[in-house]
Amino acid sequence: MWLKLMLSAVIIAFCTFMGYLAASKYRSRRKFFTQMTTFNERYLNELTFSRRAIKDLIGETRENGDFYELLEKKDVQSLPQYLSEQEKKECVDYLKMLGAGDSASQKGYFSAKKKSLESKKAESEKAAKDRGELYVKLGLLAGLAFVILIL
């Protein structure tokens, strides 16, 4: 009897964990757009007020995450797989525009990107919340169904 209960608990925990892992794509996407939006705000402030070099700004605001790794490398081949093709093109354009041109044209470009980034951030936060809960619940239900079928 105890063996069945222990096996059932392990199966349910495993399936729930697999659901959690399946939702990691959406959590990573949310973190990427949150970091991108935050960096955009900081960069706009730098353009407006202190006008330091980009490398100083990146070094000062260094955090862990895909976006900051992408900023440091500036390697457009290493874009995360969880981004759509359109989002990858926008990221490439964003990275190409960093530090290119005068401050007036950069202010215009990054100010125009602000609304787009905020909407992508809100969309990714909503998707991460909804899909994250969904996948965990589906994992739990799959574990329960598996236990019922086996035992």
Tokens coding 29: 């996407």
* Number of structural domains the chain divides into: 1
Q: Is 74 left (phi over 0), alpha (psi -120 to 50) or beta?
A: left
Q: Assess contact for 64 and 35: CB atoms under 8 A.
A: no
Q: What is the pLDDT of residues 126-151, one digit of tens each?
A: 999 999 999 999 999 999 999 999 87
Tokens coding 146: 């598996």
Domain containing 50: what range? 2-150
Does residue 68 carry a pLDDT above 70?
A: yes
Question: How many other CB atoms sit within 10 Å of the CB of residue 15?
Answer: 21
| The pLDDT of residue 93 | 85
